[in-house]
Amino acid sequence: YHVELQAAMLGIEIAFRKGWRKIWLECDSWFAVQSFKDSNMIPWKLKTRWNNCIFFTKAMQFEVSHIYIEGNCCADGRSKFALQTIGFSWWDSPPSFIREPPIVRDDRFGLPNYVF
Q: What is the pLDDT of residues 38-87, one digit of tens each?
A: 999 999 999 999 999 999 999 999 999 998 876 677 777 777 888 888 88
Instruction: Please name which of 56, 63, 61 lies closest in space to residue 17, comparing C-alpha atoms.
Output: 56
Identify whether residues 28 and 48 lie together within a single domain: yes
Helix (H, G, I), strand (E, B) or coil at 37: coil
Supply the angle between the helices 47-58 and 2-18 in degrees, to the nearest 10: 40
Give the single-character DSSP code of 8.
H
For residues 89 and 105, membership in a common domain is answered with yes
**Is residue 83 domain-shared with residue 42, that is, in the same domain?**
no
Are 55 and 86 contained in the same domain?
Answer: no
**pLDDT the model gives residue 57:** 97
What pLDDT sits at residue 10? Answer: 94
Residue 1 has pLDDT above 50, yes or no: yes
- Same structural domain for residues 83 and 31? no
28 and 10 co-located in one domain: yes
Picking from 32, 60, 27, 25, the residue whose alpha carbon sits closest to that of residue 46 is 32
Is residue 90 located within the same domain as residue 51? no
Domain that holds residue 41: 2-67
Q: Tell me the whole-structure pTM to 2 decimals.
A: 0.74
Question: Is 74:26 a contact under the CB 8 Å cutoff?
Answer: no
Same domain, 40 and 93: no
> What CA–CA distance (Å, rounded) separates 28 from 16?
22
Whether 74 and 61 map to the same domain: the answer is no
Length, in residues, of the chain:
116
- Decide: 77 and 91 in contact? Cβ < 8 Å: no
DSSP conformation class of 110: S
Average pLDDT taken over every residue of the chain: 84
Residues 26 and 42 in one domain: yes
Whether 57 and 78 map to the same domain: the answer is: no
Question: In this structure, are 49 and 38 located in the same domain?
Answer: yes
Last residue of a domain, one of 67, 89, 106: 67
